[in-house]
Amino acid sequence: MRWGLEFNLGVWLKAIRFRFLAASAISVTCGLVLSLWVDPSGFNISSAMLVYLGIFCLHCSVDLLNDYFDFKRGIDLRTKRTKFSGGTGVLPEGLLSSRSVYLAGIAFLFVGLFIGTIFVLSKGYVIGIILSFAALSIILYSTKLVNVGLGETFVGIKGMFIVIGTFYVQTSIITTESIVLGLVAGLLSAIVLFINSIPDIQADREGGRKTLAIIFNMHSDKLMYYFFIGMFIAIYSATLLFFIKLDNSIISVIPSIFLLPLAFKVVNEFNGYITPISVQEDSGYIRIMAETVLFSRLFGITVVLGIAISIIFKLGVI
């Protein structure tokens, strides 16, 4: 029975948090679409596909290793699992062995680094720097970074580097626009991690973690609320700055503006469920996590759509 479970595709998709690969996919797509705006004729489809594969492997690696170390520390044995928080559950439920998850995480890491090395050899030291950060962060994320409140920071920087690296692979340059767009992508990932970590405050604290949610909770729950609002403001501000830098126009921001009602709705609901005890007991918080994830994904899509609009105007199609 064990062997059957070890090779169950559905279980492995659950283990790698397949649905959350969308965050990395959006970051890569942002970098690729921006490169099309800069130089449509220089776009390389093969490189684009290879970037997707490499980033997906690195993303799977960090999620698998995070599950492994959380299980070893007993964190996932104490959490109340939902679709968005509390770990995948594949190890506490015995669906996979911890050894299999650990080895799979290492395997994905090596494949991702191998693909990255290909780009280092062809594109130079800039990709090497980004790849080194990725490798070091994946190794330290579950054992060090989450213990000192740097989890969201890591995820934000990771999202930014994915955009910059993808853009650089296609264009061999780094621009202000690519950095600001990377900041947008990073913030979209960080806000999801932050909101999903709140139900796990008690379990994470007992397991030795020190997430931002735990740090805020030690002082005032209202700090979580203000930080949450601040992240939405930062996302929209960075997006507006990006499009102004891109083509000195705010027309391309319009798709993102349509998501403002959803943003206000999530913020308002979050204010009503800010106490960690009620978060754990009230299923309404699951809706808040779901809506935050939805906002993050849709916002990424609207940014891509906005860049596409800019490309259309630049080419004089309309």
Radius of gyration of the chain, Cα coordinates, nearest whole angstrom: 20
How confident is the model at residue 240, as a pLDDT? 95
Q: How far is CA 31 from CA 38, 157, 213, 303, in A?
A: 11, 14, 30, 11
Token pair for 80:
């109340």
Only one residue has tokens 């929209």, namely 236
Residue 49 scores a pLDDT above 80: yes
Distance CA 269, CA 285 (A): 8
| Structural domain boundaries, residue 158 | 2-315
pLDDT in tens, 261-282: 999 999 998 988 775 545 545 6
pLDDT in tens, 153-162: 888 888 899 9
Number of domains, the chain: 1
Residue 4 scores a pLDDT above 50: no
What number of other Cβ atoms are within 10 A of residue 114's Cβ? 11
How confident is the model at residue 5, as a pLDDT? 42
Helices 151-171 & 176-197 angle (0-180, nearest 10): 150
How confident is the model at residue 172, as a pLDDT? 93
Q: How far is CA 273 from CA 156, 194, 233, 295, 305, in A?
A: 25, 14, 20, 18, 33
How confident is the model at residue 178, as a pLDDT? 95
Confidence of residue 87 (pLDDT cuts 50, 70, 90): low
Instruction: State the pTM of this model.
Output: 0.89
How confident is the model at residue 314, as a pLDDT? 80
Mean pLDDT of the chain: 86
Confidence of residue 1 (pLDDT cuts 50, 70, 90): very low
Most confident of 95-104, 206-215, 220-229, 257-266: 257-266
Task: Please give the average per-residue pLDDT across 251-267, as a whole number.
Answer: 94
Looking at residue 224, its amino acid is M
Token pair for 133:
């950060």
Secondary structure in 3-state letters for the chain: CHHHHHCCHHHHHHHCCHHHHHHHHHHHHHHHHHHHHHCHHHCCHHHHHHHHHHHHHHHHHHHHHHHHHHHHCCCCCCCCCCCCCCCCCCCCCCCCCHHHHHHHHHHHHHHHHHHHHHHHHHHCHHHHHHHHHHHHHHHHHCCCHHHCCCHHHHHHHHHHHHHHHHHHHHHCCCCHHHHHHHHHHHHHHHHHHHHHHHHHHHHHHHCCCCCHHHHHHHHCHHHHHHHHHHHHHHHHHHHHHHHHHHHCCCHHHHHHHCCHHHHHHHHHHHHHCCCHHHHHHCCHHHHHHHHHHHHHHHHHHHHHHHHHHHHHHHHCCC
Nearest alpha-carbon partner for 134 in 7, 247, 10, 24: 24
Distance CA 313, CA 318 (A): 6
Nearest alpha-carbon partner for 91 in 82, 101, 78, 81: 101
Token pair for 35:
């490169």
pLDDT in tens, 102-131: 999 999 999 999 999 999 999 988 999 988
